[in-house]
Structure 1
Amino acid sequence: MKRSLITTLLIGVAVAVLVSALHATGSMRGIETGIRAFASDYASATRVVSEKWQYVLVLLLALGVAWLSLSGVPQGRNRLLVVFLLIELLGLSWVCSLYRVFFQPLPSVLAAVLALVAAEGSIVFLRRDRSHLARTFFGNRLSKKEFRRVGEGTISFDAQAKAYEVSVVACDIANKYGLAEDSEPAAFAGTMEKFIHETADRLLQGGAYLHAADGEGVVAIFKSPEGNAEHAEKAVRVALDLIQYFRKQRQHN
Protein backbone atom coordinates (compact mmCIF):
# COMPACT_ATOMS: atom_id res chain seq x y z
CA MET A 1 0.00 0.00 0.00
CA LYS A 2 2.74 2.44 1.00
CA ARG A 3 4.85 1.54 -2.02
CA SER A 4 1.87 2.01 -4.37
CA LEU A 5 1.15 5.42 -2.87
CA ILE A 6 4.75 6.57 -3.27
CA THR A 7 4.91 5.27 -6.84
CA THR A 8 1.61 7.00 -7.62
CA LEU A 9 2.91 10.31 -6.31
CA LEU A 10 6.17 10.00 -8.23
CA ILE A 11 4.44 9.13 -11.50
CA GLY A 12 1.69 11.73 -11.07
CA VAL A 13 4.03 14.60 -10.25
CA ALA A 14 6.55 13.66 -12.96
CA VAL A 15 3.85 13.41 -15.63
CA ALA A 16 2.21 16.66 -14.50
CA VAL A 17 5.53 18.52 -14.61
CA LEU A 18 6.35 17.14 -18.06
CA VAL A 19 2.96 17.92 -19.59
CA SER A 20 2.81 21.36 -17.98
CA ALA A 21 6.27 22.17 -19.32
CA LEU A 22 5.31 21.06 -22.83
CA HIS A 23 2.15 23.14 -22.68
CA ALA A 24 3.83 26.22 -21.21
CA THR A 25 6.67 26.24 -23.73
CA GLY A 26 4.32 25.86 -26.68
CA SER A 27 5.82 22.53 -27.76
CA MET A 28 2.32 21.14 -28.36
CA ARG A 29 0.92 24.25 -30.02
CA GLY A 30 0.44 22.63 -33.42
CA ILE A 31 -1.47 19.66 -32.02
CA GLU A 32 -3.43 21.90 -29.65
CA THR A 33 -4.54 24.02 -32.59
CA GLY A 34 -5.82 20.95 -34.43
CA ILE A 35 -7.72 19.65 -31.40
CA ARG A 36 -9.07 23.14 -30.71
CA ALA A 37 -10.61 23.22 -34.17
CA PHE A 38 -11.97 19.70 -33.82
CA ALA A 39 -13.37 19.69 -30.29
CA SER A 40 -14.60 23.24 -29.72
CA ASP A 41 -15.46 26.56 -31.31
CA TYR A 42 -12.61 28.76 -30.15
CA ALA A 43 -13.62 31.76 -32.26
CA SER A 44 -16.95 32.19 -30.48
CA ALA A 45 -15.58 31.61 -26.97
CA THR A 46 -15.90 34.51 -24.55
CA ARG A 47 -14.01 32.84 -21.71
CA VAL A 48 -11.02 30.51 -21.50
CA VAL A 49 -10.25 28.02 -18.75
CA SER A 50 -7.22 29.50 -17.01
CA GLU A 51 -3.78 27.93 -17.13
CA LYS A 52 -3.88 27.42 -13.37
CA TRP A 53 -6.92 25.16 -13.58
CA GLN A 54 -5.39 23.35 -16.54
CA TYR A 55 -2.34 22.46 -14.47
CA VAL A 56 -4.45 21.40 -11.50
CA LEU A 57 -6.54 19.12 -13.71
CA VAL A 58 -3.41 17.67 -15.31
CA LEU A 59 -1.99 16.79 -11.88
CA LEU A 60 -5.25 15.28 -10.63
CA LEU A 61 -5.68 13.18 -13.77
CA ALA A 62 -2.10 11.94 -13.68
CA LEU A 63 -2.42 10.95 -10.02
CA GLY A 64 -5.83 9.35 -10.55
CA VAL A 65 -4.82 7.26 -13.56
CA ALA A 66 -1.56 6.19 -11.90
CA TRP A 67 -3.38 5.15 -8.72
CA LEU A 68 -6.03 3.27 -10.68
CA SER A 69 -3.36 1.39 -12.63
CA LEU A 70 -1.37 0.49 -9.51
CA SER A 71 -4.32 -0.45 -7.31
CA GLY A 72 -4.80 -3.91 -8.77
CA VAL A 73 -7.55 -3.17 -11.29
CA PRO A 74 -7.29 -5.65 -14.22
CA GLN A 75 -5.25 -4.16 -17.04
CA GLY A 76 -7.97 -4.50 -19.68
CA ARG A 77 -10.60 -2.85 -17.52
CA ASN A 78 -8.19 -0.10 -16.51
CA ARG A 79 -7.37 0.72 -20.12
CA LEU A 80 -11.05 0.78 -21.00
CA LEU A 81 -11.70 3.24 -18.17
CA VAL A 82 -8.91 5.48 -19.44
CA VAL A 83 -10.36 5.39 -22.96
CA PHE A 84 -13.74 6.45 -21.56
CA LEU A 85 -11.97 9.21 -19.64
CA LEU A 86 -10.34 10.51 -22.81
CA ILE A 87 -13.69 10.54 -24.58
CA GLU A 88 -15.19 12.41 -21.62
CA LEU A 89 -12.44 15.03 -21.79
CA LEU A 90 -13.14 15.65 -25.47
CA GLY A 91 -16.84 15.77 -24.70
CA LEU A 92 -16.21 18.23 -21.88
CA SER A 93 -14.36 20.52 -24.27
CA TRP A 94 -17.32 20.42 -26.66
CA VAL A 95 -19.87 21.06 -23.89
CA CYS A 96 -17.83 24.01 -22.63
CA SER A 97 -17.83 25.46 -26.14
CA LEU A 98 -21.64 25.43 -26.10
CA TYR A 99 -21.43 27.88 -23.21
CA ARG A 100 -18.73 29.86 -25.02
CA VAL A 101 -16.04 28.62 -22.67
CA PHE A 102 -12.86 27.28 -24.23
CA PHE A 103 -11.23 24.26 -22.60
CA GLN A 104 -8.10 22.80 -24.20
CA PRO A 105 -8.28 19.00 -23.60
CA LEU A 106 -4.86 18.02 -24.96
CA PRO A 107 -2.79 18.51 -21.76
CA SER A 108 -5.30 16.48 -19.76
CA VAL A 109 -5.47 13.77 -22.43
CA LEU A 110 -1.69 13.57 -22.63
CA ALA A 111 -1.38 13.43 -18.84
CA ALA A 112 -3.81 10.51 -18.62
CA VAL A 113 -2.05 8.57 -21.39
CA LEU A 114 1.45 9.16 -20.02
CA ALA A 115 0.37 8.25 -16.49
CA LEU A 116 -1.13 5.00 -17.78
CA VAL A 117 2.03 4.12 -19.71
CA ALA A 118 4.30 5.00 -16.79
CA ALA A 119 2.22 3.06 -14.26
CA GLU A 120 2.02 -0.05 -16.43
CA GLY A 121 5.75 0.20 -17.09
CA SER A 122 6.47 0.30 -13.36
CA ILE A 123 4.22 -2.74 -12.84
CA VAL A 124 6.16 -4.69 -15.47
CA PHE A 125 9.47 -3.67 -13.90
CA LEU A 126 8.40 -4.59 -10.37
CA ARG A 127 6.86 -7.85 -11.55
CA ARG A 128 10.10 -8.78 -13.30
CA ASP A 129 12.04 -8.02 -10.13
CA ARG A 130 9.56 -10.02 -8.07
CA SER A 131 9.73 -12.89 -10.55
CA HIS A 132 13.51 -12.98 -10.16
CA LEU A 133 13.20 -13.08 -6.37
CA ALA A 134 10.55 -15.79 -6.61
CA ARG A 135 12.79 -17.96 -8.79
CA THR A 136 15.72 -17.39 -6.42
CA PHE A 137 13.87 -18.34 -3.25
CA PHE A 138 11.16 -20.70 -4.46
CA GLY A 139 12.28 -22.19 -7.78
CA ASN A 140 11.54 -25.96 -7.75
CA ARG A 141 10.55 -25.68 -4.09
CA LEU A 142 6.86 -24.91 -4.51
CA SER A 143 4.15 -26.43 -6.63
CA LYS A 144 3.53 -24.72 -9.97
CA LYS A 145 0.27 -23.29 -8.63
CA GLU A 146 1.88 -21.82 -5.52
CA PHE A 147 4.89 -20.54 -7.45
CA ARG A 148 2.62 -18.76 -9.91
CA ARG A 149 0.73 -17.14 -7.03
CA VAL A 150 4.01 -15.89 -5.56
CA GLY A 151 5.12 -14.48 -8.91
CA GLU A 152 1.80 -12.73 -9.45
CA GLY A 153 1.84 -11.24 -5.96
CA THR A 154 -1.21 -13.15 -4.72
CA ILE A 155 1.02 -14.55 -1.99
CA SER A 156 3.18 -11.87 -0.42
CA PHE A 157 6.62 -12.64 0.92
CA ASP A 158 9.40 -10.69 2.56
CA ALA A 159 12.95 -11.48 1.47
CA GLN A 160 14.32 -10.17 4.77
CA ALA A 161 15.36 -12.79 7.33
CA LYS A 162 12.71 -13.25 10.02
CA ALA A 163 11.64 -15.85 12.57
CA TYR A 164 8.42 -17.73 11.78
CA GLU A 165 6.43 -20.44 13.47
CA VAL A 166 6.23 -23.29 10.97
CA SER A 167 5.53 -27.01 10.79
CA VAL A 168 8.17 -29.33 9.37
CA VAL A 169 7.53 -32.76 7.87
CA ALA A 170 10.56 -35.04 7.47
CA CYS A 171 10.15 -38.23 5.45
CA ASP A 172 12.55 -41.12 4.97
CA ILE A 173 12.48 -44.87 4.30
CA ALA A 174 12.27 -46.96 7.46
CA ASN A 175 15.35 -49.12 8.08
CA LYS A 176 16.98 -47.50 5.08
CA TYR A 177 20.50 -48.65 5.87
CA GLY A 178 19.40 -52.23 6.43
CA LEU A 179 17.60 -52.10 3.09
CA ALA A 180 20.76 -50.76 1.47
CA GLU A 181 22.80 -53.69 2.80
CA ASP A 182 20.27 -56.29 1.62
CA SER A 183 19.68 -54.78 -1.85
CA GLU A 184 21.68 -54.37 -4.99
CA PRO A 185 23.04 -50.81 -5.34
CA ALA A 186 21.04 -50.17 -8.51
CA ALA A 187 17.82 -51.49 -6.95
CA PHE A 188 18.33 -49.43 -3.79
CA ALA A 189 19.08 -46.30 -5.82
CA GLY A 190 15.91 -46.84 -7.85
CA THR A 191 13.85 -47.30 -4.69
CA MET A 192 15.26 -44.12 -3.16
CA GLU A 193 14.72 -42.14 -6.35
CA LYS A 194 11.10 -43.26 -6.60
CA PHE A 195 10.48 -42.53 -2.92
CA ILE A 196 12.00 -39.05 -3.11
CA HIS A 197 10.15 -38.18 -6.31
CA GLU A 198 6.73 -39.36 -5.14
CA THR A 199 7.09 -37.90 -1.65
CA ALA A 200 8.27 -34.51 -2.91
CA ASP A 201 5.44 -34.34 -5.46
CA ARG A 202 2.75 -35.10 -2.90
CA LEU A 203 4.18 -32.64 -0.39
CA LEU A 204 4.29 -29.92 -3.03
CA GLN A 205 0.72 -30.67 -4.02
CA GLY A 206 -0.20 -30.29 -0.37
CA GLY A 207 1.14 -26.73 -0.38
CA ALA A 208 4.51 -27.30 1.27
CA TYR A 209 7.83 -25.58 0.69
CA LEU A 210 10.38 -28.24 -0.26
CA HIS A 211 13.42 -27.67 1.91
CA ALA A 212 15.39 -30.78 0.92
CA ALA A 213 14.92 -33.85 -1.25
CA ASP A 214 18.00 -36.04 -1.43
CA GLY A 215 19.51 -39.26 -0.16
CA GLU A 216 18.96 -38.15 3.43
CA GLY A 217 15.21 -37.95 2.90
CA VAL A 218 12.61 -35.32 2.11
CA VAL A 219 12.02 -32.30 4.34
CA ALA A 220 9.10 -29.94 3.74
CA ILE A 221 8.00 -26.78 5.53
CA PHE A 222 4.42 -25.65 5.87
CA LYS A 223 3.54 -21.95 6.11
CA SER A 224 6.26 -20.70 3.78
CA PRO A 225 5.89 -18.30 2.03
CA GLU A 226 2.17 -17.92 2.76
CA GLY A 227 1.31 -17.25 6.38
CA ASN A 228 -1.15 -20.08 6.97
CA ALA A 229 -2.30 -20.08 10.60
CA GLU A 230 -3.40 -23.73 10.30
CA HIS A 231 -0.03 -24.96 9.07
CA ALA A 232 0.26 -27.65 11.78
CA GLU A 233 -3.07 -29.21 10.90
CA LYS A 234 -2.24 -29.03 7.22
CA ALA A 235 1.15 -30.66 7.76
CA VAL A 236 -0.36 -33.52 9.77
CA ARG A 237 -3.06 -34.07 7.17
CA VAL A 238 -0.54 -34.25 4.32
CA ALA A 239 1.74 -36.57 6.34
CA LEU A 240 -1.15 -38.95 7.07
CA ASP A 241 -2.12 -38.93 3.41
CA LEU A 242 1.47 -39.84 2.55
CA ILE A 243 1.44 -42.78 4.96
CA GLN A 244 -1.84 -43.99 3.52
CA TYR A 245 -0.51 -43.63 -0.02
CA PHE A 246 2.64 -45.67 0.62
CA ARG A 247 0.68 -48.34 2.48
CA LYS A 248 -1.49 -48.80 -0.59
CA GLN A 249 1.59 -48.86 -2.79
CA ARG A 250 3.12 -51.54 -0.58
CA GLN A 251 -0.03 -53.67 -0.72
CA HIS A 252 -0.14 -53.46 -4.50
CA ASN A 253 3.49 -54.50 -4.73
Structure 2
Amino acid sequence: MSSHRAEVRTIAGSLLTAAFSAVMVLSFTASADDQGPGSSKGGKAMDAAPAGVKLTTLLPEKISVDNSSKKTAITATVRNEGTKESGEINLLVVGFDGLKVNSVQGCSAIGAKDLPPGSNSGFKCAVGTLAAGKSKSYAVDATYDLSKAGKICLPVMSADGKKTFWQQGPVPFGTTNPSPNAPATPLLLGTDNKPVAPGGDTLPKTGVGDDLLPLGAAGAALIAMGAAGVYWSQRRPGHRPLDS
Protein backbone atom coordinates (compact mmCIF):
# COMPACT_ATOMS: atom_id res chain seq x y z
CA MET A 1 0.00 0.00 0.00
CA SER A 2 2.83 2.39 0.93
CA SER A 3 4.50 1.60 -2.40
CA HIS A 4 1.32 2.56 -4.28
CA ARG A 5 1.10 5.88 -2.41
CA ALA A 6 4.75 6.65 -3.17
CA GLU A 7 4.12 5.99 -6.86
CA VAL A 8 1.08 8.31 -6.87
CA ARG A 9 3.10 11.04 -5.16
CA THR A 10 5.91 10.65 -7.71
CA ILE A 11 3.50 10.95 -10.66
CA ALA A 12 1.77 13.95 -9.12
CA GLY A 13 5.11 15.63 -8.50
CA SER A 14 6.17 15.06 -12.10
CA LEU A 15 2.91 16.54 -13.41
CA LEU A 16 3.27 19.57 -11.13
CA THR A 17 6.83 20.18 -12.31
CA ALA A 18 5.82 19.90 -15.96
CA ALA A 19 2.89 22.27 -15.44
CA PHE A 20 5.07 24.80 -13.63
CA SER A 21 7.67 24.68 -16.44
CA ALA A 22 4.97 25.25 -19.02
CA VAL A 23 3.66 28.28 -17.12
CA MET A 24 7.17 29.78 -16.89
CA VAL A 25 7.85 29.27 -20.61
CA LEU A 26 4.52 30.73 -21.66
CA SER A 27 4.90 33.72 -19.33
CA PHE A 28 8.41 34.53 -20.59
CA THR A 29 7.39 34.22 -24.22
CA ALA A 30 4.40 36.49 -23.75
CA SER A 31 6.35 39.21 -21.94
CA ALA A 32 9.27 39.08 -24.36
CA ASP A 33 7.45 38.97 -27.68
CA ASP A 34 3.90 40.27 -27.30
CA GLN A 35 3.94 44.05 -27.81
CA GLY A 36 0.63 44.08 -29.61
CA PRO A 37 0.06 45.65 -33.05
CA GLY A 38 1.89 48.81 -34.07
CA SER A 39 0.11 52.13 -33.63
CA SER A 40 0.67 55.65 -34.99
CA LYS A 41 -1.16 57.16 -31.99
CA GLY A 42 0.09 60.66 -31.21
CA GLY A 43 1.48 61.13 -34.72
CA LYS A 44 1.09 64.12 -36.99
CA ALA A 45 2.24 65.12 -40.49
CA MET A 46 4.54 68.15 -40.38
CA ASP A 47 6.36 69.57 -43.42
CA ALA A 48 5.00 68.51 -46.80
CA ALA A 49 6.66 65.34 -48.10
CA PRO A 50 7.63 64.93 -51.77
CA ALA A 51 4.74 64.12 -54.10
CA GLY A 52 3.65 60.50 -53.78
CA VAL A 53 5.42 60.02 -50.42
CA LYS A 54 3.54 59.44 -47.16
CA LEU A 55 5.75 58.79 -44.14
CA THR A 56 4.47 57.56 -40.78
CA THR A 57 5.81 55.71 -37.74
CA LEU A 58 4.56 52.94 -35.49
CA LEU A 59 5.11 52.12 -31.82
CA PRO A 60 3.87 49.01 -30.00
CA GLU A 61 0.54 49.38 -28.24
CA LYS A 62 2.04 47.87 -25.08
CA ILE A 63 5.44 47.28 -23.53
CA SER A 64 6.59 45.63 -20.31
CA VAL A 65 9.01 47.12 -17.78
CA ASP A 66 11.06 44.81 -15.57
CA ASN A 67 10.46 46.06 -12.03
CA SER A 68 13.95 45.09 -10.86
CA SER A 69 16.18 46.31 -13.70
CA LYS A 70 13.76 48.95 -15.07
CA LYS A 71 14.61 47.66 -18.55
CA THR A 72 12.15 47.53 -21.43
CA ALA A 73 12.24 46.83 -25.17
CA ILE A 74 10.43 48.91 -27.78
CA THR A 75 10.11 48.41 -31.54
CA ALA A 76 10.14 51.65 -33.53
CA THR A 77 9.00 51.42 -37.16
CA VAL A 78 9.05 53.95 -39.99
CA ARG A 79 7.06 53.27 -43.14
CA ASN A 80 6.26 54.80 -46.50
CA GLU A 81 2.57 54.47 -47.27
CA GLY A 82 2.88 56.44 -50.50
CA THR A 83 3.27 55.43 -54.13
CA LYS A 84 6.83 56.71 -54.67
CA GLU A 85 10.15 56.13 -52.91
CA SER A 86 10.88 58.46 -50.02
CA GLY A 87 14.36 59.73 -50.79
CA GLU A 88 17.00 59.81 -48.04
CA ILE A 89 15.42 60.13 -44.59
CA ASN A 90 16.38 59.84 -40.93
CA LEU A 91 14.37 58.49 -38.02
CA LEU A 92 14.97 59.94 -34.55
CA VAL A 93 14.12 58.06 -31.35
CA VAL A 94 14.00 60.42 -28.36
CA GLY A 95 13.17 59.77 -24.69
CA PHE A 96 11.57 62.08 -22.14
CA ASP A 97 11.11 62.10 -18.36
CA GLY A 98 11.09 58.57 -16.93
CA LEU A 99 11.73 56.87 -20.29
CA LYS A 100 15.41 56.87 -21.28
CA VAL A 101 16.61 55.45 -24.60
CA ASN A 102 19.88 53.57 -24.01
CA SER A 103 20.49 52.29 -27.53
CA VAL A 104 18.82 51.77 -30.88
CA GLN A 105 20.15 48.98 -33.06
CA GLY A 106 22.15 50.32 -35.98
CA CYS A 107 21.74 53.97 -34.93
CA SER A 108 24.01 56.66 -33.47
CA ALA A 109 23.56 58.60 -30.22
CA ILE A 110 22.61 62.27 -30.38
CA GLY A 111 24.96 64.53 -28.40
CA ALA A 112 23.56 66.10 -25.24
CA LYS A 113 23.83 69.63 -26.69
CA ASP A 114 21.83 68.59 -29.76
CA LEU A 115 18.94 66.91 -27.94
CA PRO A 116 15.47 68.43 -28.23
CA PRO A 117 14.44 70.63 -25.27
CA GLY A 118 13.22 68.60 -22.30
CA SER A 119 14.52 65.25 -23.57
CA ASN A 120 17.03 63.05 -21.77
CA SER A 121 18.31 60.83 -24.61
CA GLY A 122 18.09 60.30 -28.32
CA PHE A 123 19.39 58.36 -31.33
CA LYS A 124 19.47 59.09 -35.05
CA CYS A 125 18.85 56.28 -37.53
CA ALA A 126 19.94 56.76 -41.14
CA VAL A 127 17.03 54.98 -42.81
CA GLY A 128 18.12 55.68 -46.37
CA THR A 129 15.43 55.51 -49.04
CA LEU A 130 12.18 53.66 -48.38
CA ALA A 131 10.41 52.25 -51.41
CA ALA A 132 6.66 52.71 -51.72
CA GLY A 133 4.80 50.45 -49.33
CA LYS A 134 7.97 49.47 -47.44
CA SER A 135 8.91 49.88 -43.78
CA LYS A 136 11.95 49.52 -41.55
CA SER A 137 11.97 48.61 -37.87
CA TYR A 138 14.51 49.29 -35.14
CA ALA A 139 14.99 47.53 -31.79
CA VAL A 140 15.05 50.11 -29.00
CA ASP A 141 16.66 49.29 -25.64
CA ALA A 142 15.36 51.58 -22.92
CA THR A 143 14.85 51.98 -19.19
CA TYR A 144 11.73 53.33 -17.52
CA ASP A 145 11.67 54.87 -14.05
CA LEU A 146 8.16 53.97 -12.91
CA SER A 147 8.24 56.68 -10.24
CA LYS A 148 7.86 59.17 -13.11
CA ALA A 149 5.84 59.66 -16.25
CA GLY A 150 7.61 58.66 -19.47
CA LYS A 151 7.33 59.68 -23.12
CA ILE A 152 8.94 58.82 -26.45
CA CYS A 153 9.10 60.76 -29.70
CA LEU A 154 9.72 59.59 -33.29
CA PRO A 155 10.38 62.39 -35.80
CA VAL A 156 11.00 61.46 -39.45
CA MET A 157 13.29 64.01 -41.11
CA SER A 158 14.96 64.72 -44.40
CA ALA A 159 18.61 63.67 -44.56
CA ASP A 160 19.78 67.30 -44.29
CA GLY A 161 17.66 67.89 -41.20
CA LYS A 162 15.80 70.83 -42.73
CA LYS A 163 12.38 69.19 -42.88
CA THR A 164 10.36 67.06 -40.49
CA PHE A 165 7.84 65.09 -42.51
CA TRP A 166 6.19 63.31 -39.59
CA GLN A 167 6.42 63.29 -35.81
CA GLN A 168 4.89 60.77 -33.42
CA GLY A 169 4.82 62.19 -29.92
CA PRO A 170 6.14 62.96 -27.49
CA VAL A 171 3.58 60.28 -26.67
CA PRO A 172 3.38 58.62 -23.24
CA PHE A 173 3.66 55.01 -22.23
CA GLY A 174 2.05 54.39 -18.86
CA THR A 175 -0.29 52.56 -16.54
CA THR A 176 -3.04 53.67 -14.18
CA ASN A 177 -2.51 50.52 -12.10
CA PRO A 178 1.12 50.19 -10.93
CA SER A 179 2.27 46.68 -9.99
CA PRO A 180 5.31 47.12 -7.69
CA ASN A 181 5.19 43.53 -6.41
CA ALA A 182 4.92 41.89 -9.84
CA PRO A 183 8.00 40.86 -11.86
CA ALA A 184 7.04 43.38 -14.55
CA THR A 185 4.64 46.25 -15.13
CA PRO A 186 2.73 46.45 -18.44
CA LEU A 187 2.46 49.91 -20.00
CA LEU A 188 0.08 51.09 -22.70
CA LEU A 189 0.80 53.57 -25.48
CA GLY A 190 -1.05 56.87 -25.10
CA THR A 191 -1.63 56.36 -21.36
CA ASP A 192 -0.26 58.78 -18.77
CA ASN A 193 1.72 56.89 -16.17
CA LYS A 194 0.49 56.82 -12.58
CA PRO A 195 3.82 56.69 -10.72
CA VAL A 196 4.36 54.24 -7.88
CA ALA A 197 4.03 56.14 -4.61
CA PRO A 198 7.08 56.49 -2.33
CA GLY A 199 7.47 53.33 -0.29
CA GLY A 200 5.28 51.52 -2.78
CA ASP A 201 7.63 48.57 -3.12
CA THR A 202 5.24 46.51 -1.01
CA LEU A 203 1.48 46.41 -1.24
CA PRO A 204 -0.60 47.21 1.87
CA LYS A 205 -1.50 44.22 4.02
CA THR A 206 -5.16 43.73 4.76
CA GLY A 207 -5.15 40.55 6.83
CA VAL A 208 -3.25 37.59 8.14
CA GLY A 209 -1.79 35.35 5.48
CA ASP A 210 -1.59 37.95 2.68
CA ASP A 211 2.04 36.98 2.11
CA LEU A 212 0.82 33.57 0.95
CA LEU A 213 -1.31 35.03 -1.85
CA PRO A 214 1.29 34.84 -4.69
CA LEU A 215 2.05 31.18 -3.96
CA GLY A 216 -1.62 30.34 -3.55
CA ALA A 217 -2.48 32.02 -6.83
CA ALA A 218 0.29 30.11 -8.61
CA GLY A 219 -1.00 26.86 -7.14
CA ALA A 220 -4.53 27.61 -8.31
CA ALA A 221 -3.26 28.28 -11.83
CA LEU A 222 -1.40 24.99 -11.89
CA ILE A 223 -4.44 23.08 -10.65
CA ALA A 224 -6.59 24.71 -13.30
CA MET A 225 -4.05 23.76 -15.95
CA GLY A 226 -4.04 20.17 -14.81
CA ALA A 227 -7.82 20.06 -14.83
CA ALA A 228 -8.02 21.45 -18.30
CA GLY A 229 -5.25 19.49 -19.80
CA VAL A 230 9.77 65.73 -30.01
CA TYR A 231 10.14 67.99 -31.08
CA TRP A 232 13.54 67.94 -32.84
CA SER A 233 15.60 71.03 -31.93
CA GLN A 234 17.73 71.35 -35.10
CA ARG A 235 15.04 72.61 -37.41
CA ARG A 236 15.12 75.67 -39.59
CA PRO A 237 14.02 79.00 -38.01
CA GLY A 238 10.32 79.60 -38.04
CA HIS A 239 9.30 76.05 -37.14
CA ARG A 240 6.91 75.65 -34.28
CA PRO A 241 7.21 72.74 -31.82
CA LEU A 242 4.51 70.13 -31.65
CA ASP A 243 2.88 70.28 -28.25
CA SER A 244 3.21 67.06 -26.25
Answer yes or no: same fold by TM over 0.5. no
Q: Which has the higher contact order (CA 8 A, sep 6+)?
A: 2
Greater Cα radius of gyration, structure 1 or 2: 1
Which is richer in strand?
2
Which is richer in helix?
1
TM bucket (normalised to shorter chain) is under 0.3
